Amino acid sequence: MISTKKIKASPQSPTQLVSSSSADMIASNDDILTLILHRLPLKSLLKFKTVSKHWLCLITHPTFRPQHNSRAISGLFVCRLSDITNPKYDFLNLTPHSSRAPFKSLTFIDDPAGIKILQSCNGLLLCCSFRSNRLDTTYYTYNPTTKHYTVLPPPRHSSSGYYSFGVSLAFDPSKSPHYKVICIRNYDPELLDHYQVEIYSSKTGPWRPSGRPFVAPSNVQFENGVFWNGAIHWVSDWGDSLCFDVEEEQMRDIPMPSGDGDVRLYRYFGESGDHLHLVEVYGSDNLQFDVYEMERDRSGWFVKYQVDLNPVAAAFPEMVRGYADPIDLHSYAFSILCVVHEETDEGSFMVLHLPNKAIRYNFNDNSFRKLHDFAPLRSRVGVGGDSSLEFEYFDAYQFIESFACV
């Protein structure tokens, strides 16, 4: 009779010896180990950083770029109003699976003035002191995925009479692991329309002036810079807007779509998936509008999506104000928090803020669904009551998982 009893493998069985030998070979070969680590998702890499100092060194090396390190937007940080404490942030999860908020307030360093986000750029956040005057502001770069941060040195102009109009982050991980911070400051306290660019580089270090002073109209919104296609872009309330090519260190005019009046009525200006988008809405009762996209060569804009929010207003009657708001001049309470460009146009969408909630609106089929409920808070836009709004596009910051060094 043939016995069916299983034979227990000895500690020195050939299979175990081969397996142990293979594991030792991989562990001792940095090239093979790095190749394997490259293919792992970011959340796994965060855990594997604690395996050993050697693995930590490999994963955190500036040249290490995970295969899954994409530009996909996982969520939005939305800044809640706060006058005396650290700003609080709601997190809008944009992935199909549940996800915890990376943070509710920024406490990565003890700043007595609190910390707020200025800009998000391809996985990194540019932050600064919350309650401070222009001369005492401290700037930070922060990676919310790895929890690493850098305290930037103070800009060169930190003295009486000189101050910054805007500070912006320029980071493209597909081209370089390093980033730059662009500061627009006044050139001379007595020349109100003269500005100077200063640049900080994570590669070379201290702030330095870039080029000669330039003249720009006072309506350019330097405080809301957007990085796209190698340049920081700023919109203006009328006329052409500006962009600063970070590599060539050149300031250029960029054309804008023809508006319906002398003053432009922006509802959104931002980047997603390496595409730059703009939304202008004219007319107090207008729920139909276009989403523009910038040509790659910056020669002009074209209509990328056409939007009709009438079905949204029918489903959420709290949008209807019944009057034209004295601040934003619209009869419907909504703002655009983010235009999200997916790999295919069929998946692209925008995140809208309605009174006390956020919804997701699909461009392809005009479908929509609720994403998030906001706790009631005093209004920023509007007269008050249920038809008021709290957030605009510059209050929402993209969260992109990244292993970028700061």
Question: Domain map of the chain by residue range?
Answer: 22-60, 75-399
Per-residue pLDDT averaged across 147-163, rounded? 81
Q: 328 falls in which pLDDT band (50, 70, 90)? A: low
* Both structure tokens of 6: 């299983």
Question: 3-class secondary structure for the chain?
Answer: CCCCCCCCCCCCCHHHHHHHHHHHHHHHCHHHHHHHHHCCCHHHHHHHCCCCHHHHHHHCCCCCCCCCCCCCCCEEEEECCCCCCCCCEEEEECCCCCCCCCCCCCCCCCCCCCEEEEEEECCEEEEEECCCCCCCCCEEEEECCCCEEEECCCCCCCCCCCCEEEEEEECCCCCCCCCEEEEEEEEECCEEEEEEEEEEECCCEEEEEEEEEEECCCCECHHHCEEECCEEEECECCCCEEEEECCCCEEEEECCCCCCCCCCCEEEEEEECCEEEEEECCCCCCCEEEEEEECCCCCCEEEEEEEECHHHHHHCHHHECCCCCCCCCCCECCEEEEEECCCCHHHCEEEEEECCEEEEEECCCCCEEEEEECCCCCCCECCCCCCCECCCHHHEEEECCCCCCC
Is pLDDT above 70 for 28? no
Is pLDDT above 60 for 380? no
Per-residue pLDDT averaged across 73-79, rounded? 95
The pLDDT score that the predictor gives to residue 61 is: 66
* DSSP-derived pairing of the beta strands 266-272 and 139-143: unpaired
The pLDDT score that the predictor gives to residue 73 is: 94
The pLDDT score that the predictor gives to residue 25 is: 65
What tens digit of pLDDT does each residue of 238-296 get? 878 999 999 999 999 999 988 766 677 889 999 999 999 999 988 767 899 999 999 99
More confident residue, 30 or 386: 30
Q: Among 172-186, 227-241, 302-316, 373-387, which is the least confidently predicted range?
A: 373-387
Q: Among 21-30, 185-194, 282-291, 357-366, which is the least confidently predicted range?
A: 21-30
More confident residue, 381 or 166: 166
Determine how many CB atoms are found less than 10 A away from the CB of residue 196. Answer: 19
* Alpha carbons 113 and 136: distance in angstroms, whole number: 10
Question: Structurally, what CATH architecture does the domain formed by 75-399 represent?
Answer: 6 Propeller (2.120)
CA angle 232-234-239, nearest 5°? 140
Q: 176 falls in which pLDDT band (50, 70, 90)? A: very high
More confident residue, 306 or 34: 306
Per-residue pLDDT averaged across 122-133, rounded? 88
